[in-house]
Amino acid sequence: MAADCNWNANNLACSNTWGILLALEELRAKFSLAGALRMDALAFWNGAASPALRALEAQALAARMDRLFVKLLQAKYEQGKTRPQALAALQAALLVAKGTVCELSVVVDEHYNFQGELK
């Protein structure tokens, strides 16, 4: 997935992923540095938590992100994608300790169509 990742302020999936994580206080990094942050550096990640508890935390964060993408940013799901698919994909990406915010934004881009997004 990393090969598909191009952290760019002109990409709405990147800027919206960063903005939502910033608003949720999951990260504090400025945009230019945030793409390289790993999932295990986000606030929800607890290295001492069991995998089951971490999965619950990731599921909750995925649901909060989804609500903000859809309600606040008025994103639509990409054609052929559903809310359950988006939630599962976000949760899976959030659970990859060495996965980056940039890689998370690729998952976001695959599942959400943001207003003003050029395809």
End-to-end Cα spacing for the chain: 19
Taking all residues of the chain, what is their mean pLDDT, rounded to a whole number? 95
Task: Find, among 32, 27, 43, 41, the residue nearest to 10 by Cα.
Answer: 32
Task: Give pLDDT, residue 98.
Answer: 97
36-75 pLDDT, tens digit per residue, is 999 999 999 999 999 999 999 999 999 999 999 999 999 9
Q: How far apart are CA 38 and CA 94, in angstroms?
A: 9
When pLDDT is averaged across residues 86-97 and rounded to a whole number, the result is 98
